[in-house]
A and B are shown apart, each in its own frame.
Chain A
């Protein structure tokens, strides 16, 4: 299975920014991550308008496929058709990495278009380990799995989220996509210690880092990807990077998408943090 490389600073490719990507005017982004579902060829293998743009972008920079539909934590495995189409997309795009989430998205063939939380219990671990293994077998590569932003917890949970993630990732022999915004949001919503969380994950498995903006809704924060990265998240990124590195960091923006120049400004902030931390480590 190919290993994940260090690609530098990346960004989520959104249709609002297709004009800039089609004109190759996207400094300082060095790679893009896309929502895999938007680009899947249809069941007849026909390529849609979005995939046509992505093939143009892929000819110029690495692409990471980020899915939301493997439903790795679903008690029933209903992902075979999706994985087959994702594999087809992988053959077209030859992505640098493929990722999805430590969650479930529906059961009994219903798809809720949401990343739903799991209780941190042994059965959830077993389901995830088996299903990640199956996805990796089908795709012929190690995948990355991402920690969620969560709003609910379950009385039945037997371990912390970071213990849960560690066990799943080690046993499934996959990589971790560390979403630092999600760590901040979950820790805020549940009163957890974000530093304890970040200390507790398997650092040697992290191959990509997400940053994004949340929205405050009274006593909870919601992972909307609709605002610029907030200072507490930049702070956690610096904290984590200083101790464990900043491999393949990127910014996601899915709603209220700003003009490219504004997003590029955020990417420059990220680049500058990465470079400062690199110099400190060298010194």
Chain B
């Protein structure tokens, strides 16, 4: 048997342990020992997904989480070398796969959990304070781009997740009629959440990539922010340690 064919068969034996005769033809001197590799793979997938999606794991419980991992990985075997990528399609899977599609709250929870994990995995950055911003030479500020820190994300969901009451969340909770907009960010090990209205979300959006201060002012004015609102928006962003200065 050529190496490629051998490897495809070995891989199939790990991904689908229930396949009859899946190790026949591999020429294993002790065929039963392939279970070491099966166990290693499935244990590792359970750990990756459980660690990456702790809220989902807590909500579903160990048994259902284990069933979910097996179903999800069978449908989406990992195609990434970094553990962080393994869960990328999990929320969409939950929204479309039986039995979980019957409880749309679970897919939403997974999506929020995934975004929180991405924030957690990002690097801490030095943020701009009001004092530091005031100390920048007005001539120099034109060459500085400001963006939201990496450990932040604008998250839109269809329900108002309250993590402190996760244990009370019923799986048949209906989705909200309107989207909930939030800016989630993290400092050290602590998450913080800012509830936003739709106009504020639009105000924040270009700050994900970053912009000059003058362009931000124009952008806010274009959204109908008067001068006082523009000042309060900037104060709010600075007070929450959200902005990073990039000298291009």
Contacts and interface: CB of A to CB of B under 8 A. Distances in A.
Contacts of A50: 121
B124 A112 contact: no
A107 B10 CA distance: 10
A222 B36 contact: yes
B4 A76 contact: yes
Interface stretch (A5-13, A41-49, A229-237, A242-250): A41-49
B14 interface: yes
B113 to A, nearest CB: 17
Interface string B130-171: 000000000000000000001000000000000000000000
Nearest to B121: A48
B2 interface: yes
| Chain A interface mostly | loop
B79 interface: yes
B3 A127 contact: yes
Contact of B3 (A46, A69, A124, A220): A124
A74 to B, nearest CB: 7
A82 B121 CA distance: 19
A107 B122 contact: no
Interface string B1-44: 11110111011001100000000001111100110110011001
A37 B48 CA distance: 14
A49 B45 CA distance: 22
B33 A151 contact: yes
Given A75-B2, A152-B34, A113 B8 contact: no
B37 A109 contact: no
Contacts of B29: 152-155
Interface residues of A, number: 40
A176 B82 CA distance: 25
A76 B2 CA distance: 12
B80 A111 contact: yes
Interface string A8-50: 0000000000000000000000000000011010000011111
Nearest to B125: A52
A214 interface: no
B150 A46 contact: yes
Contact of B14 (A76, A112, A127, A154): A112
A114 B40 contact: yes
A59 interface: no
A35 to B, nearest CB: 10
B123 A75 contact: no
Given A46-B122, A124-B3, A154-B29, A110 B81 contact: no
B78 A52 contact: no
Contact of A37 (B41, B44, B81): B81
A107 B36 contact: no
B11 A107 contact: yes
Interface of B: 1-4, 6-8, 10-11, 14-15, 26-30, 33-34, 36-37, 40-41, 44-45, 48, 77-83, 120-124, 150
